[in-house]
Structure 1
Amino acid sequence: MKDVQMDIIWRERKRNIFGMPLSFTVYSLTEERLFIETGLFNSVENEVRLYRILDVQLRRSFMQKIFGIGTIAINSSDKSLGDFVLKNVKKPKVVKELISKNVEIQRELKRVVNREIISGNDVSVDIDGDGIPD
């Protein structure tokens, strides 16, 4: 079996509150997926396909602003990962825009339609493009 080559667009280690990369959590972004790898001795790698990301939000506390870091909150329709955060990343505005741009590209390539219900907070997602929310 041939090893699959992934072109990583962005990769960064989670930082502490002072902006230092002293953590065993690594975030990676490819054209199609976002990965979160945690742990030293026992590691877990989660991934979400970009077309499953519904919303991206940047959150920055006063201390995060001082040290040039921020937290990116992601709302996804992924069954195993659900909503999650990329905590204390460097250059958070650039990273947020990079994720958002690639999400839109993947949603367009996969023909994923996101339909929001105006009267409420519910969001229905048409993953396969057949007009029926999944």
Structure 2
Amino acid sequence: MDASQPQDAGHTASDPAQPDPAEKFSATHRRGERGPDETIWQGGYSAVDQSGSFIILGLITIGLIAASIFFPPMIIISLIAIPVLWIIQGIRVWWIKLGVAYELTNRRFIHESGVINRTTDRIEVIDVDDVTIEQGIMDRMFNVGTIKITSSDRTHPELRLHGIKDVRKVALMIDDARQAERDRRGVYIESV
């Protein structure tokens, strides 16, 4: 045997009977699981969640314009303050929207956060214990809200998804994916 060509005892790289180590430990080849994950829903932060902030900013704008009419020296302050406030709010919403992304598959809930440093984390849907919807008055008017996921995941036992459009529909999708995965694996939760 040539020392420049080391071989593993008994098998070569082209041996079809031996699985590739990368395939052996990939999520799609684990015992009892079928194929790759199927995406059920993808989403992120909806700027509609900021409707209350935009309404307050609109009222401030109207107040500054009214103050400029009754007190002419306020015109300069208003001409500077109004665009600056709207630009700051626009950048704030853009930053929040850019900073989060969610994906629900048939087996996992994947959430990404951060703009400069991106963190990606996964929660197995089978580990989800409860899905709760939180909505204020403005949220109900615009069909957005916060979904609170309680799970047995150690890194995120409670995860809040803010600014979700069609919040009830998305919460139901998460709950249905959880139940389908539990049924598929034969996991049943007894009532206490």
Query: Structure 1-normalised TM-score?
Result: 0.77
Structure 1 spans left out of the alignment, 5+ residues = 118-134
Instruction: Note the 1:76-91 alignment, pairs <5 A.
Output: 76-91=151-166
**Is 2:138 aligned against 1:106?**
no
What secondary structure, in the 3-state scheme, does the structure 2 residue paired with 1:115 have? coil
Per-residue CA shift, 1:62-116, capped at 9, x if unaligned? 1211222011111101112111111110001110111111110001112223234
What secondary structure, in the 3-state scheme, does the structure 1 residue paired with 2:164 have? strand
**Is 2:143 aligned against 1:68?**
yes
**Is 2:79 aligned against 1:47?**
no
> Given that residues 112 and 120 in structure 2 are in contact (C-alpha distance below 8 angstroms), is that contact kept between their aligned partners in structure 1?
yes
Query: Structure 2-normalised TM-score?
Result: 0.55
Per-residue CA shift, 1:32-77, capped at 9, x if unaligned? 0001100112000111000001111111111211222011111101
Greater RCO (Cα-Cα under 8 Å, separation 6 or more): 2
Instruction: Note the 1:29-44 alignment, pairs <5 A.
Output: 29-44=104-119
Q: Where is the strand percentage greater, Structure 1 or Structure 2? A: 1
Q: What corresponds to 2:41 in structure 1? A: 10
What secondary structure, in the 3-state scheme, does the structure 1 residue paired with 2:129 have? strand
Alpha-carbon distance in structure 1 between the residues aligned to 2:155 and 2:182: 19
> Given that residues 37 and 107 in structure 2 are in contact (C-alpha distance below 8 angstroms), is that contact kept between their aligned partners in structure 1?
no
Please provide the CA RMSD for this pair: 2.2
Alpha-carbon distance in structure 1 between the residues aligned to 2:120 and 2:187: 25
Q: Which has the larger radius of gyration?
A: 2
Q: Where is the helix percentage greater, Structure 1 or Structure 2? A: 2
Matched length:
117
Identity %: 22
Alpha-carbon distance in structure 2 between the residues aligned to 1:53 and 1:12: 19
